[in-house]
Amino acid sequence: MIRVAAFLLFISLLLASCGGGGTEQLTTGIVSGQVTVVGPINGAVDLMVGVFPQGSTTPVQSSSAGHVTSTASLSGRTISYEFSELPFGNYYIGVYAEGATPTFYYESGSFSCNEQGQIVSGLNGQCSFSGAAPWGTVSGSTSITGDWPTDGKLTFIGISPMSAPQNVLQHLVSESDVNDGRIHYDIEGIAYGTYLVGFYGYDPVSRQVDTYGAFDNPVTVSGSSPNVATVNFASDFAGDPGTDPQLGTITGTVSLSAALPSGLFYYVAANTIPPAQGAPPAVYEVFEDQLTGSSIDFTLSFLDDDIYSVSIFAYDVTTHQATYFGEYDGTVTVSGGDSHSGIDFTADVSLLN
Instruction: Please report, for the domain that includes residue 17, its CATH number.
Output: 2.60.40.10
* 115 and 157 both lie in a single domain: no
Let me know: does 205 contact 151? Beta carbons within 8 Å: no
Say if 202 falls within a structural domain: yes
DSSP code of residue 41: B
Query: Measured in Å, how far apart are the chain's first and last C-alpha atoms?
Result: 36
Domain boundary (101, 128, 155) is at 128
**Mean pLDDT, residues 16-20 taken together:** 34
How many domains, the chain?
3
The answer to whether residues 345 and 252 touch, using CB atoms and an 8 Å cutoff, is yes
Same domain, 198 and 272: no
Question: What integer is the mean pLDDT of 83-107?
Answer: 91
Q: What is the mean pLDDT of residues 168-186?
A: 88
- Asked whether residue 9 falls in the same domain as residue 102, the answer is yes
Whether 36 contacts 76, CB under 8 Å? yes
Say yes or no: 123 and 155 in one domain: no
- Which of 99, 128, 157 is the last residue in one of the domains? 128
Is 103 part of any domain? yes
pLDDT on residue 242:
67
User: CATH number of the domain that 208 lies in?
Assistant: 2.60.40
297 and 218 within one domain: no
What percent of the chain has a predicted confidence (pLDDT) above 70? 89
- Percent of the residues in the chain that have a pLDDT greater than 90, as a whole number: 38
SS (H, E, C) 282-348: EEEECCHHHCCCCEEEEEEEEECCEEEEEEEEEEECCCCEEEEEEECCCCEEECCCCEECCCCEEEC
Q: 319: domain range? A: 248-352
> Do 203 and 299 belong to one domain?
no
Instruction: Read off the pTM.
Output: 0.61
- Domain co-membership, 290 together with 188: no
- 2 has pLDDT over 60: no
pLDDT of residue 73: 56
Q: What is the pLDDT of residue 21?
A: 43
Structural domain contains residue 241 = no
Within this chain, do residues 196 and 300 fall inside the same structural domain, yes or no? Answer: no
The string of pLDDT tens digits covering residues 219-278 is 999 887 888 877 888 899 987 776 666 678 899 999 999 989 888 889 899 998 888 766
Of 98, 128, 158, the last residue of a domain is: 128
Q: Which residues pair with 235 in a beta bridge?
A: 144
